[in-house]
Structure 1
Amino acid sequence: MLRVDTPSLLLDIGKLTQNIKAMQAFSLQHHIALRPHIKTHKSVHIAKLQLKHGAVGITVAKLSEAEVMADAGIENIFIAYPISAPKKLKKLLDLTLQANITVAIDSIEQAKMINEFFQSSNQMVEVWIKVDSGLHRCGVTPGEEALSLAKFITSCSQLRLTGIFTHAGHSYAAKTTDELLLIGEQEAAAVVESALLCEQANIPILHRSVGSTPTYQISGAMAGITEVRPGNAAFFDMVQVGLGVATVEQCALTVLASVVSTKTNRVIVDSGSKTLTSERGAHGNESIKGFGYIKEHPDLTIERLSEEHGILTFSSPHTLQLNDTVEIIPNHACPVVNLFDSYFVHKNGEHIDTWPVDARGCNK
């Protein structure tokens, strides 16, 4: 066990590298591009490692994440989020002068605002249309609504439409393998059918992109898809394990916690909701038990959390004593990472480096 202060964020470099290689191998097998989402790790080190292994660029959720990555020299960035506020458009304009930036569009109103803003600078911006493949968050309805938006964008002097994308986040709530398969197929169909409709109207769609770690190996294998954007697949977590997408052994990210108190019917560790978050699974996942998985003591359950305390319960004898440490696989890695300043990177149990969470808190 690593001898670092707790709670700490641990990253197994061997597992991380294998997970990155697996994503790249899938994209090569299916002759498609890989553009991983960095909202999971928020790390320049990891983003550059993904690029080194063959990723064509990265995906970010927010402008502030894009700024961090562009400042680090990453040149190909897709912002998979609708941007329209004037302050954000000014930042977007600055970024387009620094790197190759693509931005999401999901309404005519938004497209009009971006086009009008960029007219004053005579600068072009590349855009992709987001279609709703079932999550019912952002995105236009696939088909005719996507075509109508594409036609409007092509009439805009400063916008260059090159892609259509979606995110099947509702896959996290899938209860069976068959349901997951169906969601992945629908994800691909929403993009491909919309793109074909546009091309029948002489609007070329070069990029046809899908995401979601649970489905990218389903939707990414479908004819017509050109790119996948998995994020969580760099680390995996207990949601992915519950979905059958990964095993506990593949999970590269853990939280190191210390026992601070032992009682007759419970054990308390120094990792509460400000460390593990109180999430039990994104978008309604029901496979989660407790608030994380304790690797060395799988029979223990993190039954409840307060801000600084994790309360563990048990139904059989345990050996934990005061100041013992445990490694916890988070339910959902992405928000947990955003709570830490740095990763303790380790190999075969030895601390080899410390990497900053460069885009921590970059939520604007």
Structure 2
Amino acid sequence: MTINSINTLDTPSLLLDMAVLEKNLDEISQIAKYNQINWRPHIKTHKSIKITKMQLERGACGITVAKLEEAEMMAKAGVRDILIAYPLSSPQKLERLISLAKQAEITIAIDSIAQAKLVNQAFSNTSPLTVWIKVNSGLNRCGVEVEEVKELATEMKQLPNLHLNGIFTHAGHSYAATSLEQIKDIAHSEAKVVLESAKICEQAGFTILHRSIGSTPTFKYGAEINGITEIRPGNAAFYDMCQVGLGVATPSQCALTILASIVSVKKDRLILDTGSKALSLDQGAHGNKNVIGFGKVLNHPEITIARLSEEHAIATVSEETTLSLTDKVQIIPNHACVVANLFDEYHLHRNGTIIDTWSVDARGKMK
């Protein structure tokens, strides 16, 4: 065993296959360029300044974040175009937003008249803030309905401190799809909602430059739809077993794995040192449990991680296995975004040889 082999690491450790990551990022970049649209990756998946810079070097026009704290950190690192895809309205956050908007080109989500008025009031003594209306395309989380867009846009004409120039949505309900055909249908519905909303806003007198869609399952299909100007996939940088379960990726496209050790061997089970604090309890997203177990153990189809406690992964064995006490395995997580947030650092490797260690910079940035 070479001294810089991944198998020399203590466990659990978070591994990042650089060749796979680079291939995934190149593919997204090529899709955006082929369709002549922008790419604004969501960094909540990797939470890494260095991976963000890899995306920008490949042509990303800016980034998407979920939280204000993520935006603050990325602006400090030199990122200049940031969409906060979250409806901010509390006094504490708006005060921070005013400061942040002096450091970078910031856009935030608006999804109600009440929120729009609060943001407009907060920015009364500074430059207008760029905002995009978030519309609901079926996830039924944040976002206005299409039939509410006209009222919101009409009201925003009276709010001089807001500069509306974009419409966006997130088709997270695509994670509950049961076929690729259904995912394609969701992508078309996602785009339709954005395009209809943009038309309504333009009829109200706004110039809508940005018609943006997200969701890793749908972005390849939505990118092809005339009128869409931007894609915002996040998970597609890494992929994971949820994406494999949906049929939009294969295990070979999954860049992130967790290195685990066998810590106990019993007659009917193996115990690994990767409990819910390393793998998370996710088995799907937004209503669809599309994976078996709590991660895929590479090269060991006889092993199923059947349950988790905080520090233990309990695996069943369907047939004879070569694994024994202290052996190490790699596990593809079900949900890479959550798992990345559970570790302090990535161990980068090529073909199992460690080449670097990068921080998960935005780990725990939730405010």
- TM-score in terms of structure 2 length: 0.97
Aligned residue for 2:138? 134
Does residue 215 of structure 2 align to residue 182 of structure 1? no
- How many Å separate the matches in 2 of 1:345 and 1:320? 25
* Superposed displacement of residue 293, structure 1: 0.3
Aligned residue for 1:37? 42
Aligned residue for 2:261? 258
1:72 corresponds, among 67, 70, 77, to 77
Aligned to 2:85, the other structure's residue is in SS state strand
Aligned to 2:123, the other structure's residue is in SS state helix
Mapped contact 2:167–2:211 kept (Cα < 8 A): yes
Aligned to 1:39, the other structure's residue is in SS state coil
* Superposed displacement of residue 306, structure 1: 0.5
Mapped contact 2:180–2:248 kept (Cα < 8 A): no
String of CA shifts for 1:93-129, please: whole Å, max 9, x gaps: 111001110000000000000000110x222110000
1:200 corresponds, among 195, 198, 203, to 203
* Superposed displacement of residue 55, structure 1: 0.2
2:22 corresponds, among 14, 17, 20, to 17
RMSD: 0.9
1:86 corresponds, among 82, 91, 94, to 91
* Superposed displacement of residue 288, structure 1: 0.7
Does residue 13 of structure 2 align to residue 8 of structure 1? yes
String of CA shifts for 1:116-161, please: whole Å, max 9, x gaps: 0110x2221100000000000000001x311221222232111000
Aligned residue for 2:58? 53
String of CA shifts for 1:312-337, please: whole Å, max 9, x gaps: 10110001111110000000001111
* Superposed displacement of residue 296, structure 1: 1.9
- How many Å separate the matches in 2 of 1:323 and 1:51? 41
- How many Å separate the matches in 2 of 1:154 and 1:239? 42
Mapped contact 2:210–2:229 kept (Cα < 8 A): yes
* Superposed displacement of residue 209, structure 1: 0.2
Q: Give unpaired runs (5+ residues) of structure 1.
A: none
Mapped contact 2:271–2:315 kept (Cα < 8 A): yes
- In the alignment, residue 363 of structure 2 is paired with which amino acid? R
* Superposed displacement of residue 275, structure 1: 0.5
Does residue 92 of structure 2 align to residue 116 of structure 1? no
- How many Å separate the matches in 1 of 2:203 and 2:96? 35
- How many Å separate the matches in 2 of 1:302 and 1:23? 31
Mapped contact 1:133–1:166 kept (Cα < 8 A): yes
Does residue 256 of structure 2 align to residue 278 of structure 1? no
Mapped contact 1:208–1:226 kept (Cα < 8 A): yes
Aligned to 2:22, the other structure's residue is in SS state helix
Aligned to 2:166, the other structure's residue is in SS state strand
Aligned residue for 1:157? 160
Aligned to 2:198, the other structure's residue is in SS state helix
Q: Give unpaired runs (5+ residues) of structure 2.
A: none
Mapped contact 1:154–1:161 kept (Cα < 8 A): no
String of CA shifts for 1:32-84, please: whole Å, max 9, x gaps: 00000000000001001000010000000000010111111111100000000
- In the alignment, residue 93 of structure 2 is paired with which amino acid? K
Moved over 3 A (4+): none
- How many Å separate the matches in 2 of 1:298 and 1:327? 12
- In the alignment, residue 122 of structure 1 is paired with which amino acid? T
Matches within 5 A, 1:214-293: 214-293=217-296
Mapped contact 1:166–1:191 kept (Cα < 8 A): yes
- How many Å separate the matches in 1 of 2:351 and 2:156? 52
Mapped contact 2:260–2:272 kept (Cα < 8 A): yes
- TM-score in terms of structure 1 length: 0.98
Aligned to 1:197, the other structure's residue is in SS state helix
* Superposed displacement of residue 299, structure 1: 2.4
Mapped contact 1:154–1:160 kept (Cα < 8 A): no
String of CA shifts for 1:199-222, please: whole Å, max 9, x gaps: 233321110000000001112211
- In the alignment, residue 362 of structure 1 is paired with which amino acid? K
- How many Å separate the matches in 2 of 1:145 and 1:220? 25
Mapped contact 2:302–2:320 kept (Cα < 8 A): no
- How many Å separate the matches in 2 of 1:295 and 1:315? 15
- How many Å separate the matches in 2 of 1:27 and 1:147? 30
Aligned residue for 1:62? 67
Does residue 352 of structure 2 align to residue 333 of structure 1? no
- How many Å separate the matches in 2 of 1:241 and 1:299? 18
Mapped contact 2:179–2:247 kept (Cα < 8 A): no
- In the alignment, residue 265 of structure 1 is paired with which amino acid? D
- How many Å separate the matches in 2 of 1:342 and 1:122? 38
Aligned residue for 1:101? 106
- How many Å separate the matches in 1 of 2:268 and 2:153? 61
* Superposed displacement of residue 179, structure 1: 1.3
- In the alignment, residue 321 of structure 1 is paired with which amino acid? S
